[in-house]
Chains A and B, each alone.
Chain A
Amino acid sequence: MSDFNNYGNYGDGDGGFDVSQNTGGGFNNDHSTGGNGSQRNQLRQSLTPVTIKQINDSTQLNPDGEFKIHNVELNMISFIGIIRKVTTHQSAIIMTIEDGTGSIEVRKWIAENDSSISLTEEEEKFSSFVNEKYIFVGGSLRQFNNKKTIQNAIFYPIEDSNQIIYHHLSAIENHLRCQGIPKNTTTKTENKLFVDNVNPNKSSGSTIDKVLQVLKDNSSTMSEGVQLEYVVQKLNISREDAKNYCDELIESGKIYTGFDDNTYIAI
């Protein structure tokens, strides 16, 4: 437990949270853990969309370090779900949120000295959402006493239900991205998950597609870009044609210029 010295106040239960939040100490924790180890890289500070199952299944490799699940790093996370239960405890509202993949308890802390917001009003507000409304939760994932909690959580009700789908699709995309390129996956997919970049209006044998293919094939090995001359030689076309095709590909956003104007990098 020595690793948790920074969290002296948190140790024995709920009261600890209280102190931290009321003094606005939340983000300071990130600074105080800076010296925690050389392995610690800069934490991802944007919200990672996840499902509650991912949160519950995730494991923490180092105390106070990042959580990981299926190669997805969880630090600042966001999830959505339906509030199934609301209770109050001291100066916090405790909500149980469920999204079909699992459930999690989150707390919204109400500062006692904050006159703009009262515990009862907030409890009434969130109680009215119980079994009625999806809410969005964002915050940083922490673990205390083997229980995962969301620190500095923000909550807001979802008014446009498309956001539910958007969130889940983002979570799927992020998950797949972390698994590497999902080509030839072992899942029994009949349809490909992603649409090919190739423009279906053009036959795959057209010269411009061949140019793009040459650039794609070689972009990974030629870090400064593929030379125009290389394309000319490879496809046995005139320099002028090659240049025109490359310009067209740049305009359509499929390639970029590399080290200079005569080198190209495909996305």
Chain B
Amino acid sequence: MEASNIRVDATLLQENQNNLVRIMGSCESVDKNTNCATIISNGPITLDLNHTQLDKQLIPGKNYEIIGKVSNSSLKVHVYSVIQLSDNLNLDFATKFVQYSQKVPDIYIASHD
């Protein structure tokens, strides 16, 4: 299924190299020179924003859901899509959700993965 991706946080990047992933987290910093950003999702994740034409900048302190591909070695995430989430998002719940979604692949992860 072409539209599927895996819900992960910083702790699950290693085992999802080269996979399309979906990350909920809070933006910590944005480096406009390198077009990279750091998002906190149960740990820091470096986002490479060069692969998407964002019509808006990521703002530090705001919450986002990122869809992107985990690079092979550096574990940077090449961002394809960004959705802003509400400020009151509870990231602890988001972390729990990621953990639980890994435990029920029947309803989350395409069987051929």
Contacts and interface: CB of A to CB of B under 8 A. Distances in A.
Given A54-B107, A172-B104, A193-B103, A131 B83 contact: yes
A98 B100 contact: no
B90 interface: yes
- Residue of B5, B88, B99, B101 with most partner-chain A CB within 10 A: B101
Given A161-B89, A162-B93, A193-B100, A101 B4 contact: yes
Interface string B88-111: 111001101101110110111110
Contact of A53 (B7, B24, B86, B110): B110
Given A54-B107, A103-B3, A165-B94, A133 B88 contact: no
B97 A169 contact: yes
A167 to B, nearest CB: 10
A132 B83 CA distance: 6
Interface in B55-113: 63, 65, 67, 81, 83-86, 88-90, 93-94, 96-97, 99-101, 103-104, 106-110
A102 B1 contact: yes
Interface string A168-201: 1101100110000000000101010100000000
A84 B80 CA distance: 13
Query: On chain B, which size bracket covers the interface?
Result: 20 to 34
A150 interface: no
B55 to A, nearest CB: 10
B93 A165 contact: yes
A18 B63 CA distance: 40
Nearest to B63: A161
Interface string A154-172: 0000011110110011011
A182 B6 CA distance: 23
Contact of A100 (B5, B86, B90, B106): B5
B35 to A, nearest CB: 20
Contacts of A126: none
A195 B85 CA distance: 29
A131 B22 CA distance: 14
A50 B104 CA distance: 12
B90 A162 contact: yes
Contacts of A189: 103
Given A100-B22, A102-B1, A168 B97 contact: yes
A102 B108 CA distance: 9
A78 interface: no
Contacts of B99: 191
A161 B86 CA distance: 5
Contacts of A29: none
B81 A51 contact: no
Contacts of B88: 160-162
Contacts of A175: 104, 106-107
Given A103-B1, A191-B99, 18 more contacts: A53-B110, A82-B83, A102-B1, A102-B4, A132-B84, A133-B83, A134-B83, A160-B86, A161-B85, A165-B93, A165-B97, A169-B93, A169-B100, A171-B107, A176-B104, A187-B103, A187-B104, A193-B100
Q: Which 6 A-B pairs have the closest CB atoms?
A: A161-B85, A103-B3, A161-B86, A161-B89, A100-B22, A98-B3
Interface of B: 1, 3-7, 22, 24, 63, 65, 67, 81, 83-86, 88-90, 93-94, 96-97, 99-101, 103-104, 106-110
16 contacts: A50-B107, A51-B108, A53-B1, A82-B83, A101-B110, A102-B3, A102-B4, A103-B3, A132-B83, A134-B83, A162-B86, A165-B94, A168-B101, A169-B96, A172-B104, A189-B103
